[in-house]
Amino acid sequence: MNTVYFIIEFIGTLAFAISGIRLASAKHFDWFGGYVVGLATAIGGGTIRDVMLGLTPFWMTTPIYLICTAGALLLVIIFKKRLTSLTNTWFLFDTLGLALFTIAGIQKTLFAGFPFWVAVIMGCMTGAAGGIIRDVLINEVPLIFRKEIYALACIIGGIVYWIGYSLNWHDEITMILSFVSVIIVRVLAAKYHISLPILRDDNEKSN
């Protein structure tokens, strides 16, 4: 499972790093700024998770995640003109990272001996917190707080994982179903403009 977990976290890091660097590029950041945004997007959620669990942040045990982010920056630099217009591709990278990191957060929390309700929260934290940091760095309202299903997809994926875990399904099946559920929820929400109700104040209603 350690190998599977590492692969999941590595692919998630690459996907989130590319997503963050792309948005930094749209804001005309320089290469260093793009790297910082990509790195923060990739490791932000996992770092908060590990600190809350009392563990050494995952990226401090090996430089591979820093190297992975550098590779993501290089890909964006080389293929920038070709990739800039591929909005659906960037959405896919962000969604893949969200799903992969949700699973990674759940697994690591369970391995640390915490109950499943904590694992679901940490899965959501791992998947969504990096995006919050990214949006703050590029001066945007965090996507998780806007009119789009994002963190809720993580929670649903965590519940699916919990169901499979409780029924003693094979780990691979549980991970795949959780992964697919996060992607399906986010894709359907984006395609059909499904969102949670927006909070409105009394003054806005009166106007």
Q: Say what the pTM is.
A: 0.86
pLDDT values of the chain reduced to their tens digit, one per residue, 207 residues: 567 767 877 887 888 898 899 889 889 999 999 999 999 999 999 999 999 999 999 899 999 999 999 999 998 898 877 766 666 777 877 788 889 889 999 999 999 999 999 999 999 999 999 989 999 999 998 878 876 688 899 999 999 999 999 999 998 899 999 999 999 999 998 888 888 887 776 665 555
How many Cβ atoms from other residues are within 10 Å of residue 24's Cβ?
25
Task: Tell me the Ramachandran region of residue 28: left when phi exceeds 0, alpha when psi lies from -120 to 50, beta otherwise.
Answer: left
Sign of CA dihedral 19, 22, 28, 31: positive
Q: How far is CA 68 from CA 33, 72, 111, in A?
A: 16, 6, 25
Q: Please give the pLDDT value at position 13.
A: 86
**Whether the Cβ atoms of residue 171 and residue 185 lie closer than 8 Å to each other:** no
